[in-house]
Structure 1
Amino acid sequence: MRPVTNGATRSMPIDSDNIQDDNQHVEISSHYIDQLSSHLISGLNLTIQESVGQGEFGIVYRGLISVKNDIPQAIAAKTLKGFYSKSDIDSLLDECIIMMSFDNLNVLPLIGVCLDLGPGSLLSYLKKERANLTVADTSEEDIVLNVRKQLLSICLQVANGMCYLASQRFIHRDLAARNCMIDDNGIIKVADFGLSEDIYAKNYFRQFKRNTNESPSLTTVKLPVKWMAIESLHDGLFSEKTDVWSYGILCWEVFSLGRVPYPGLDPVGVVEFLDTGGRLLAPRGEACSKEIYSLMTSCWSESPDDRPVFSDLVSSINALIEPLAGYLDFNGISDNFNNSIEDDDYV
C-alpha cells in the first residue's frame, strides 16, 4: 500500500485567536505548488475509506486512486484533522517534498498530493452569511420568517443527525457548530474532528486524570467548556442529555450567526456563571422567537431528567418550521467556508 498525501481533502481554514477577518483563508504558497506540480492529483480520482490511525494533528485513511481506465490502486491517504494553522499545512507539504525523492522497496513513497477543497464547517457558513442572515427590528415580516426558516432548517438537520446517533447509543461529547459540515447542497452533516490546543486555548481547559491503576501517570483531556453540561464539567458524566445541552448551545450559535457563546468569560468564569444559575441570553434579532429561545433553555435545565431527548427536539422543531414551509435551498450560497473560529464581534 502506497500513500497519497492528501493535504486538503477537507476545508483548510486558518483558525487563530488573533484573526479578525472572517474571509481570510489559507493560501498555498506558489513555492509548494511549483515543487509539487508533478504530483498534484484531483480529488475526483480518490476514494477515501476507513481511517487506520491518527496522531495529534493527522489522520491516515485507507483509500483507492483511479487514473483514467487503470485498475484502482490501494493507497494510504494522510490528512490534517480538524482546524489547523498555515504552518501545519506547510509542515505537511514539506514532508511531501521530502518523500518525493524516495525510491526503495522498504520506504514508503509519495504517489501524489490532493489540494482540492471539500465541504466547510457550519460555523464558517454562519459567519460568511452573517450579513445576509441578519434581520433588524424594522425588517419586513416575510424577511424575518424567511431567515427564521433557514436557521430552523439548520437546527432541524442537526437534530435529525443527533437523533440517529442517539438511537445508535453514540454520545458525541463535542457537538458544536464548528463540528458540523455543510455541503454544496446545503445538507448539514454532524461530524467529529480533532481539536487543536492552540486554536481552542480560550474556550477549552485541561482536566488531569490518571491513565490506569497500573500506570499512575497523569494525562490531560481538553474540554469544550462553553458547550458542556454542568454534570460533565463537575462529574465527568456524558450521556444523550449532555449532548442535548450542547445542542442548545449550537442552536444559540446558529441564531447568533456564528458568534462565540458566553462572550467575555473564560472557561473558569463560565463554570462559575452556570453554577449560579446563569444561562445564555436570547440571541439578538427578530429571527429568534420566544418559542425558539424556550427550546434552547429547555436543553440547559440543571437536571438531565428535565431536558428533552433528541426525538422530542426533532418534533418540536418540525412544529416550529412547519408553518414556514420546507427547507430553504442553499445552492449557490455555500461556496466558501474558509473562515476563522474565533470572533470578537460579539453582540
Structure 2
Amino acid sequence: IQVAIKCLSPEKVSIDKHQQDFLKEAAIMYSLNHEHLVKLFGVVLDVDSSLMLVTEFAPLRSLAENIKQEALKASFPVTLLVEFSVQITDAMRYLHSSNIIHRDLATRNILLFINEVGTKTVKISDFGLSRRLLLGENYRSEMKPHLKLPLAWMPVEALTKLTFTKASDVYSFGVTMWEMFSYGCQPWATRSGEEILKAIDKPNFQRLERPEACPKSVYDMMLKCWSHQPEDRPTFAELHSDLPMTKPLQVRAVSSHVASSPDELTFRTDDIITVIEKSDKSGMWTGVSPLGKVGNSNVQRPQPQGADRDRRVRQGRRKEARRRGRRAASRKKSKRVRSHRISHRK
C-alpha cells in the first residue's frame, strides 16, 4: 500500500507548541471516517527525533495542481466541478456535525483520487489548522508575528478578529468553488490582507467576479457563501442539498458550427456542450465545448442530453398526442357536418 508521510521538522520537534499542534492534527484525523476525507493510517511518535503522520497517498496530487494545467482542462468539465463541490460539502457537513472547523479549505488542500470504478473524486486533507469547537460556536486564534493564515479565503470577522466559526468555513468554501470554476486562478491576486479586507468589508462589499466558465446558478451559491453577516451564510447541509440543482444542462450538437467571431463557440457534430447561460427569448446561449472553450451561439442545433432530453421527449410525445387528438376530433366533426348536409338534401 502506498502512503504519504507528513513529518514535523527536527527543529520544530523540540518546541512544545509545534508538538501540541501536530498531535492535535493527529487526534482530529484519527477521530474522522468519511469517504471524502483523507484517511489517517498511523502516527510515529519519537519525541527525540521526529513526529510523523502516515496518511492516504494521492498520486494525482492536489486539485489545485491539476486544474491549473491547460492541457488537463478538458478533463475537468463544469459538471464534474459541480460534483466535486457536492463531495466537499458532504465531507464538511460531516466535519461540522462532529463540531470540527477546518479553517484552511482551499483547492491546495483538496486531493484528487480515482475510485474503484474509474471515476474522479476528491478528498479534503491538511487538518493542521483544524480545531474542535468545545466551548461555544467559535474559535479565536492568537495573533503571532509569523502566523500564516489563508487571508484571501477568510471572511471579515476572521480578518479583523481572528474569529473562526462554521460560517467562516462556508465563506472559504465559496472561495474554493471560485478557484475551481476559474481553473486555478489566485483569489484577490496581488492584494495584501489589508487591501482584501478593505474590498470585502463595508461600505465596498466587493466580491470576486464570476468566472468565465461558471454557471450563474453556481455563482449565486458562491455569493450566498460570501454573505457579510455569518448568520446569513448557508450551512454545509443546505449547500449539499442545493448544489446538485445547479448542475448545468448538457446538449449534443446535431451539426457542426464554425465561429464567425472570437466570442462565438465552434463545435462539431455530436460534441457535448455544457450550457452555462441561455436566453429563451433571444435564443442566444453561452456554452463550454469539450475542450473547455467558452463561447456564445444563437444556432439552434444542440439536442438536450440525459434527463433533460428524456423530459423533452416526453413533452414532445404529449404535444404530438394532443395534436392527434385535435385532428381526430376535427375529422369527427367534419363527418357529422357532411352527414347532416347529405340528410338535409335528401
**One-letter code aligned to 1:278:** Q
Q: Deviations over 1:270-328 (max 9, x none)?
A: 12211231110111x2x311111110010001101110000111111111238669xxx
**One-letter code aligned to 2:239:** L
Task: Tell me the CA shift for residue 53 of structure 1.
Answer: 5.3
Q: Which of 303, 308, 317 pairs up with 2:234?
A: 308
Q: Which of 278, 285, 298 pairs up with 2:206?
A: 278
Specify the SS of the correspondent of 2:42.
Answer: strand
Task: Tell me the CA shift for residue 177 of structure 1.
Answer: 0.4
TM-score, normalised to structure 1's length? 0.50
Residue matched to 1:122: 63
| Rg larger for | 2
Structure 2 stretches of 5 or more lacking a match? 7-38, 130-140, 252-346
Task: Tell me the CA shift for residue 148 of structure 1.
Answer: 2.1
Q: 1:59 to 1:247 in 2, by over 3 A?
A: farther
Contact 2:58 2:113 in 1 (8 A): no
1:179 aligns with 2:174: no
Q: 1:52 to 1:234 in 2, by over 3 A?
A: farther
Work out the percentage of aligned pairs sharing the same amino acid.
32
**One-letter code aligned to 2:210:** A
**One-letter code aligned to 1:279:** R
Task: Tell me the CA shift for residue 51 of structure 1.
Answer: 2.5
Specify the SS of the correspondent of 1:9.
Answer: strand
Q: 1:193 to 1:259 in 2, by over 3 A?
A: farther
Residue matched to 2:216: 290
Structure 1 stretches of 5 or more lacking a match? 1-5, 12-46, 62-76, 80-115, 135-142, 196-206, 210-217, 326-347
Q: Distance in 1 between matches of 2:174 and 2:104?
A: 12
**Number of residue equivalences:** 198
Task: Tell me the CA shift for residue 54 of structure 1.
Answer: 9.5
Q: 1:124 to 1:132 in 2, by over 3 A?
A: closer
Task: Tell me the CA shift for residue 117 of structure 1.
Answer: 7.2
Contact 1:119 1:181 in 2 (8 A): yes
Q: 1:304 to 1:194 in 2, by over 3 A?
A: closer
Alignment of 1:241-260 (within 5 A): 241-260=167-186
Higher helix share: 2
Q: Distance in 1 between matches of 2:103 and 2:79?
A: 27
Q: 1:299 to 1:280 in 2, by over 3 A?
A: same
Residue matched to 1:165: 95
Q: Distance in 1 between matches of 2:85 and 2:242?
A: 11
In angstroms, what is the RMSD of aligned CA positions? 3.3
Q: Deviations over 1:161-180 (max 9, x none)?
A: 11111111110000000011
Residue matched to 2:148: 222
Task: Tell me the CA shift for residue 183 of structure 1.
Answer: 1.2
TM-score, normalised to structure 2's length? 0.50
Contact 1:121 1:179 in 2 (8 A): yes
